Structure 1
Amino acid sequence: MSPFSAPPDLPQDLADVLSVLVDLPFAALEPGLVAAALGTRPDAVADALPRLATAGLLRPHPFAEGLWVFPDGRRVSPLPARRTDPTEQLDRLRRAVAWWLASLVAAERQLAPWHRPVASAPRWDHSPVQPLAFGSCELARTWAVAQEGSVIAVIAAAALRWDHVAWRATLAASRTLWRVRPEPGVQLLCANWAVPAVRDGGSRQEVRAVLLARSGAARQVGKYSDACDDADAALYSAEEDGDERHRGDALHALGSALLAAGRADRARERFTEALAVREEVGDERAVALTRLLIGLCHQDMASPERALAELDAAGAMLTRAEDVFGQARALAHIARIRAGLGSRDREEALAGFERAAGLFAAVRADPWRARCLTWWATTLPAAQREAAMELLIEATGLFGDAFHTDRATATGALAAHAKRRP
């Protein structure tokens, strides 16, 4: 990013705000972020960003209303007289990152209300400014997509001065962005930075949480051995501390990695252990998620009836827990199994895919909706070629340009359907 100089006759109040902006690593700028950095109220700086845009030093964000960016990817050079004391600069960065993290968690709760926050007791003491409140999934989604360019920059800015705010911010960012940009590499990159950071300054419980996050990210990109190693490390630590909740989480993560690696027999053993622990802890949603994956183990082991029994039970529990996303996953997998049982179950399978796809749409789980539409399309009889192609076109659109292994399945199925004569 090539810098350019601000005009020397810039009004004092704008020069003060600009001196803060040039020290922040964020790609998208907004009054709350600037106010958090300065330790003031958002209304005190609300007109500063539009005025800087009028001066040609900023421009409106291309698609997110109320956000601003530096023009043409260039960053303004700070005026020599405005250089900030390093201690104050670090305090401003921490306050800004704390506000950004709180807003990411708010977006995550809107986009995926069934999901646990990244930190059980996040501390916002670095920032006096209230985080953003999103009134709809669409507002949260638009804001989250606009933050994509900030994630790596925030990691780089905090690389040599990690604290609890910085590592939580990167994990929250990776998970929130996963909702809107299904690119697993970003999640793994964030987790790789966070693990050594939290090991230096976090509690043992926090270390386990980050190891489990990295295990999940490694599994998503096919690094199954790494995923198992991190889950094993978290399991050993939880057993040392007698932390049963994390012990169940680690066993579940280990089973997930083994299942993804094609080791359904070993995965079922770990899931069975995880199920016992989670039942003892009393977390019904966690129990349901483990039972769901036990069902997938039975599916991989060619036991469809046992798979359906586990998935039916998991779906009922997830419905009671009001986990719409989890319920949709159970329905989609049930439909997929029924689709493989033959024509006798096809109509029931098609109805299940339709219902699951609707639930995925309701919670804006685009990658999962796309996966479900692909399964639905490939279950339709040959006579419904046009309907299948419509579903596959929608699926590829939902995957977008992001790398996703299931996107190749959808595009391949679409190409195959296109070659068939009507």
Structure 2
Amino acid sequence: MSHFSAPPGLPDDLADVLSVLVELPFAVLEPGLVAAALDSSPDAVADTLPRLADLGLLQAHPTTGLWEFPNERRVSPLPARPPDPGAQLDRLQRAVAWWLASLVAAERQLAPWHRPVAIAPRWGHGPAQPLTFDSSEHARAWVVAQAGNVIAVIAGAALRWDHIAWRATLAASRTLWRVRPDPGVQLLCSNWAVGAVKDGGSRQEIRAVLLARSGAARQVGQYSDACDDADAVLYFAEEDGDKRHRGDARHAMGSALLAAGRAEPARERFTEALAVREEVGDERAVALTRLLIGLCHREAGDPRRALAELDVARGLLARVGDQFDQARALAYTARVRADLGAPVEAVADLKKAATLFAGVRADPWWARCVTWLATSHPDAVHERAWHLLTEAVQAFGDNYHVDQTAALAALAAHAKRRRP
């Protein structure tokens, strides 16, 4: 990142704020974050960021209404204001604590069934006026804008906020993957979080980050590592008598085995997980395990048993209000219906799934669903398939390279079959 100098004669209030901004590692700035660093209130700094933007020292973020340094350049620290290391660390910790509390608030809005691990600040102050979110759309837009900040906080962990920042990276990885899925970033988040927590975290915290890393490793094809992390969680959970994490660990192990193409041992792990999760009474967890048992049956060539499990999963997910995973269940149900020779029903389910994905703004998942929908249409509907696939390719962007490749291949195939 290049630097440029602040202009001479900058008003004192702007100079004070600017001297703090250049210390913070955050890529995206906003009044609440800056106010937390200054131990002030958002109202007190509300007009400061626009004034700095008027001077060309900041610019509005193109989509979120937040602020960032222009063209990835960061203003050089003002030479007349040498940093005080103690005060600087206080500001950093206050800013990170505010950001963490806001991320957790967004996670609760977007996925209230998540079980956030409570972290008490290990220093003398807590977050000042964290953000609140009045809708899922508000929370989703804010979280998407934080993608650069996640990496920045990890990169700055050497500045000794690791005891609090790992929770932020975990919250980010669990909320970002739906709206901006990037398995590499998720693995980076969870790898770093595991290292941070092992130095002084509780057993519950260690289990939470190992589960997150197991999922991230599975997403990038590191199936052996994913199983190892799940096995470690199971060991700790059995030692500590934590039934919920025992079920989670077996589910994570089954997920890795299924992704590796080992459907039968995966089904065994899922069956064990299901028994524990039913005993705990977590309906959503039960639904997710049944969903994957359904996929195991499909891989084993038993679509009728697959359909029965997916129907149960879909009903449970609808009851708990998880539209995202309900859409996943519908999409997989559609593929099983296609296996059973029911294309009309399959297309109807895919359309419902696409509507649900669109409703929660899970764009890459919507695009995946639309790709399936386009390739499920009867051969006579070339033009509709062409338009659907074009939309899917545009929506994938750089998020799901494998699926984008599949969509492009399907698009090319349909292009050859288009009507003159």
Q: 1:372 aligns with which of 369, 372, 388?
A: 369
Partner residue of 1:327?
A: 326
Partner residue of 2:203?
A: 204
Shift of 1:404: 3.3
Aligned pairs (5 A) from 1:145-164: 145-159=144-158, 161-164=160-163
Normalised to the residue count of structure 1, the TM-score between the two structures is 0.94
| Distance in 2 of aligned mates of 1:156 and 1:84 | 20
Partner residue of 1:290?
A: 289
Normalised to the residue count of structure 2, the TM-score between the two structures is 0.94
The Cα offsets for residues 200-252 of structure 1, whole Å up to 9 and x where unpaired, read as 12101100100000010111111111111111111111111111111110100
Q: What is the identity, as a one-letter code, of the residue corresponding to 2:104?
A: V
Shift of 1:53: 2.0
Asked if 2 retains the 8 angstrom alpha-carbon contact of 1:26 and 1:150, the reply is yes
| Distance in 2 of aligned mates of 1:148 and 1:83 | 30
Shift of 1:384: 0.7
The Cα offsets for residues 341-395 of structure 1, whole Å up to 9 and x where unpaired, read as 22xx111111111111111111122222222211211111100111112221222
Asked if 2 retains the 8 angstrom alpha-carbon contact of 1:292 and 1:314, the reply is yes
Partner residue of 1:347?
A: 344
Q: Residues 402, 373 of structure 1: CA spacing in aligned structure 2 closer, same or farther, 3 A cutoff?
A: same
| Distance in 1 of aligned mates of 2:74 and 2:55 | 14
Aligned pairs (5 A) from 1:169-188: 169-188=168-187
Partner residue of 2:256?
A: 257
Residue aligned with 1:383, SS: coil
Aligned pairs (5 A) from 1:98-137: 98-110=97-109, 112-116=110-114, 119-123=116-120, 126-137=125-136
Partner residue of 1:40?
A: 40
Shift of 1:109: 3.7
Shift of 1:128: 4.2
Asked if 2 retains the 8 angstrom alpha-carbon contact of 1:96 and 1:127, the reply is no
| Distance in 2 of aligned mates of 1:237 and 1:120 | 16
Asked if 2 retains the 8 angstrom alpha-carbon contact of 1:39 and 1:127, the reply is no
Residue aligned with 1:81, SS: coil
The Cα offsets for residues 75-104 of structure 1, whole Å up to 9 and x where unpaired, read as 111123322321221121111111112222
Shift of 1:415: 1.1
Q: What is the identity, as a one-letter code, of the residue corresponding to 1:173?
A: A
Runs of 5+ consecutive residues of structure 2 not aligned to the other structure: none
Aligned pairs (5 A) from 1:366-405: 366-405=363-402
| Distance in 2 of aligned mates of 1:122 and 1:415 | 50
| Distance in 2 of aligned mates of 1:326 and 1:22 | 41
Shift of 1:180: 2.6
Aligned pairs (5 A) from 1:197-276: 197-276=196-275
Asked if 1 retains the 8 angstrom alpha-carbon contact of 2:169 and 2:189, the reply is yes
Q: What is the identity, as a one-letter code, of the residue corresponding to 2:309?
A: E
Q: What is the identity, as a one-letter code, of the residue corresponding to 2:114?
A: R
| Distance in 2 of aligned mates of 1:123 and 1:391 | 48
Q: What is the identity, as a one-letter code, of the residue corresponding to 1:199?
A: K
Aligned identity (percent) is: 73
| Distance in 1 of aligned mates of 2:317 and 2:72 | 45
Shift of 1:331: 1.4
Partner residue of 2:405?
A: 408
Residue aligned with 1:80, SS: coil
Q: What is the identity, as a one-letter code, of the residue corresponding to 1:21?
A: L
| Distance in 2 of aligned mates of 1:352 and 1:126 | 51
| Distance in 2 of aligned mates of 1:273 and 1:92 | 47
Asked if 2 retains the 8 angstrom alpha-carbon contact of 1:25 and 1:154, the reply is yes
| Distance in 1 of aligned mates of 2:117 and 2:146 | 23
Shift of 1:45: 1.1
Shift of 1:134: 3.2
> Which segment drifts farther, 318-327 or 378-387?
318-327
Q: Residues 46, 351 of structure 1: CA spacing in aligned structure 2 closer, same or farther, 3 A cutoff?
A: same
Aligned pairs (5 A) from 1:292-307: 292-307=291-306
| Distance in 2 of aligned mates of 1:115 and 1:415 | 41
Kindly report structure 1 stretches of 4+ aligned residues shifted beyond 6 Å. Answer: none
Residue aligned with 2:381, SS: helix
Q: What is the identity, as a one-letter code, of the residue corresponding to 1:396?
A: V
Shift of 1:416: 0.7
Q: What is the identity, as a one-letter code, of the residue corresponding to 1:187?
A: Q
Q: Residues 160, 22 of structure 1: CA spacing in aligned structure 2 closer, same or farther, 3 A cutoff?
A: closer
Say if 2:89 is the partner of 1:90: yes
Please, what is the CA RMSD of the aligned residues? Answer: 1.8
